[in-house]
Structure 1
């Protein structure tokens, strides 16, 4: 089959693409900018923008010679034009209507397991499911629970893996007694591939869950053992505190820590009692237990690095932003006499040095604020790296004595350059 996959480069979408390619299907990835991902050599890509392609006419040209469509696009947080309504409802409906116009019968929707009362993430997904169900198509809706992979992570799975790797006691709401029913991303891909091969399985909603219901505490303990960090020690956090942290994550963060995820966890992210049996009967797929999936892919040192750096890198970015802001404030408040002390035996006059301090201080302040706000962070970090290298090189050549100044002087810039380079190369989210 020639299959169009939206959200193809996301965590779940990439596993679906890999499974379909391995099964011999020709995959067309509908992604922003038509970028061909080097992870999938030979795969075709077409341009789309789920935030703006809201009419069926936008999708019709992308459906040439397509036999089936898999919609795996989704967002956990809204950002500008990328709203839940656009990404989960309007754009998918436009795509589904285009399929109907083109006579493409088989449409598979990768949705989300949960209760619409948990938040707009789930509610909008389910409204998209209902819109698809109203069309004359051979549709199938798959609703995965907590999706994980031993070969990588993203979003909430990265957060949980990082929690399991925390030194000391791990803070969990009410001791981590909430229930989850995790399913491997590879098994989600297998379910989509099986759905394409079973056209008779149609016009129904199937919950994609693992074979076992476990507590959040046991889930994290399994990951901690897999990472090689020993026994999990839990610090039971009152539910009110956990809700407050989730609310702060909603307000100030941009990751998976939010009230929607907290409500889903409180309610329990599990399927119906017969979900595993139904999945096996309808699609012939039997997801693996967590311990088996982890045992088939032993952890490596890179897994431990990623888990431990998950919280460390944001802290490093915050400290860098505050340092640049402080440097900017110092540059703007420095007096001529203070600057003149630094220009002894240098080529600049006190006045010229003060002007330079004001200019560089203003730039530092701007970059520090932008870094704090995560605005186009890769470009901001690159600018900070270039400026710091320029400071170090320029001052080191014009005022060599600064290398020997008390408390390290310019020498302190060297580890800062390394820290900025680390932030820059680890900023990629996928």
Structure 2
């Protein structure tokens, strides 16, 4: 079959694309900008924008020659035009309405397991499911629980790996007693392949869950053992403090830590009593237990690096941003007389040195603020690195005495250059 997959480069979407390809299906990736992902260089990609393609007519040309559609698009956070209403409801509905008009009967929606009262993420997903159910299609809604993979992570799965890798203790809300029923991302892909092979399994909602419901603390300890880290204590975190951290993460961060994730964990993310049996009876799928999936893919040193660096990298970004802001403040508050005294013996005259100091201070303030706000991080970090390199080489060559200045001001730029290069190299999240 020729299958159009939206959100094909996401964490779940990529595993579904891989499973479809392995099963011999021809996959067309519908992604923003029609960019080719290095993981799937041989697969065709067409442009779509789930924030803006809200009309049936936007999707009709993309369904030419398509036999089935799998919608994996989703966002955990709203940002700009990427709203829950657009990405989870309006754009999928337009796509499925186009399927009706084009005669594409099979439509599979990757939704989310949870209670709509937990937040707009789940509520909007379920409203999108209801809109699909009202159409004359052979639709199928799959609602996965906590999805993981031993071969990679993204978003919430990366956060949970990082928690498992913390040294000293694992601070968990209420001690991590919340129950989860994790399923391997590879098994989610197998479920989609099975659904395409069974067109009679239609017009129903199926929960994708693993065979074991377990406390969150046990889930994290299994990952800690897989990573090769030693015994650790569980540190019960009072729920009010956990809620404050989630609110802070929602307000200041752009990662998975937020109120929705905490509410889903508090309630527990498990399927119905007969969810596993129903999955076996309808799709012939028996998902692997967590430990078996981990045993089949031993951890590597890159997994340990990623887990350990997860919290350090954003902290490094914040500290560098504060350094740039501090440098800008100092550059503007240093008096003209002090600037001219510092420039004595250098290649620039007093007025030129003062003008350059104020100019670079303004650039420092702007870049520091943009770095804190995570505005186009690659561009901002690249500008910070270029500025630091230019300053270090320029001053070092034209004013070599500064290498030997008190406290080694220029020498301290060298580890800063390395820190910026590391941040630039780790900006890619998938």
Q: TM above 0.5, one fold?
A: yes
Please name the residue that 2:274 is paired with. Answer: 274
| CA shift for structure 1 position 340 | 2.2
| Aligned counterparts of 2:200 and 2:230: Cα–Cα separation in 1 | 47
Q: 2:125 matched to 1:125?
A: yes
Q: How does 1:55-66 map to 2 (within 5 A)?
A: 55-66=55-66
Equivalent pairs, count: 430
**Structure-1-length-normalised TM-score:** 0.99
- Say which is worse superposed, 64-73 or 39-48, in terms of deviation: 39-48
Alignment of 1:370-409 (within 5 A): 370-409=370-409
Please state how far the C-alpha of 1:409 moved relative to its aligned partner. 1.8
Determine the structure 1 residue equivalent to 2:89: 89
Q: Tell me which residue corresponds to 2:108.
A: 108
Kept after mapping to 2: 8 A contact 1:164/1:232: no
Q: Distance in 1 between matches of 2:41 and 2:251?
A: 39
Cα distance, 1:386 vs structure 2: 0.1
Q: Secondary structure at the match of 2:256?
A: coil
Structure 2, gaps ≥5 residues long: none
Q: Please give the TM-score of this superposition, normalised by the length of structure 2.
A: 0.99
2:188 corresponding residue in structure 1: 188
* Equivalence for 1:157: 157
1:18 counterpart = 2:23: no
Q: Which moved more, 1:325-334 or 1:344-353?
A: 344-353
Partner of 1:67: 67
1:27 alignment partner, SS class: strand
User: Could you tell me how far 1:251 is from its partner in structure 2?
Assistant: 1.2
**Per-residue CA distance 1:236-289 (angstroms, 9 max, x = gap):** 111111011111111111111111111100100000011011001100111100
Q: What corresponds to 2:243 in structure 1?
A: 243
Q: What does residue range 252-263 of structure 1 map to in structure 2 within 5 Å?
A: 252-263=252-263
Q: Contact 1:164–1:170 at 8 Å: present in 2 too?
A: yes
2:308 maps to which residue?
A: 308
Compare 382-391 and 40-49 and name the one that shifted more: 40-49
SS of equivalent to 2:285: coil
CA contact (8 A) 2:167 2:232 kept: no
- Deviation string 1:278-334 (CA, Å, 9 cap, x unpaired) is 001100111100000000000011000000000000000000000000000111111
CA distance in 1, matches of 2:42, 2:357: 53
State the 1:41 CA deviation. Answer: 2.9
Deviation of 1:341 after TM superposition, in Å, equals 2.8
Quote the offset at 1:337 in angstroms. 2.2
Could you say what secondary structure the match of 2:30 adopts? strand
Bigger shift: residues 2-11 or 250-259: 250-259
Contact 1:343 1:399 in 2 (8 A): no
The alignment partner of 1:410 has SS state of coil
**Residue 229 of structure 1 corresponds to which residue in structure 2?**
229
The CA distance in 2 between the partners of 1:272 and 1:230, in whole Å, is: 34
Q: Contact 1:145–1:183 (CA<8 Å) still a contact in 2?
A: yes
Q: Runs of 4+ in structure 1 displaced over 2 angstroms?
A: none
What are the superposed Cα offsets for residues 153-206 of structure 1, whole Å, 9 maximum, x if unpaired? 001110000000000011001110000000000000000010000001000000
User: d(CA) in 1 for partners of 2:408 and 2:170?
Assistant: 38
Cα deviation, residue 231, structure 1: 1.7
Distance in 2 of aligned mates of 1:330 and 1:263: 44
| Alpha-carbon shift at residue 39 of structure 1 (Å) | 1.0
Residue 345 of structure 2 corresponds to 345
Task: Provide the rounded CA distance (Å) in 2 between the counterparts of 1:413 and 1:282.
Answer: 61
Does the aligned pair in 1 maintain the 2:3–2:28 contact within 8 Å?
Answer: yes
The C-alpha deviation readout for 1:215-244, integer Å capped at 9, x for no partner, is 000000000000000123111111111011
Equivalent-residue separation in structure 2 for 1:101 and 1:36 (angstroms): 28
The answer on whether the counterparts of 1:335 and 1:354 sit within 8 Å (CA) in structure 2 is no
Look up the match of 1:357.
357
* Secondary structure of 1:109 counterpart: strand
| Equivalent residue number for residue 417 of structure 2 | 417
Asked if structure 2 preserves the Cα contact closer than 8 Å seen for 1:179 and 1:215, the reply is yes
Q: Which residue of 1 aligns with 2:285?
A: 285
Native 8 Å contact 2:3 2:27 kept in 1: yes
Contact 2:182/2:290 (8 A) holds in 1: yes
CA–CA distance in 2 between the matches of 1:210 and 1:347? 69
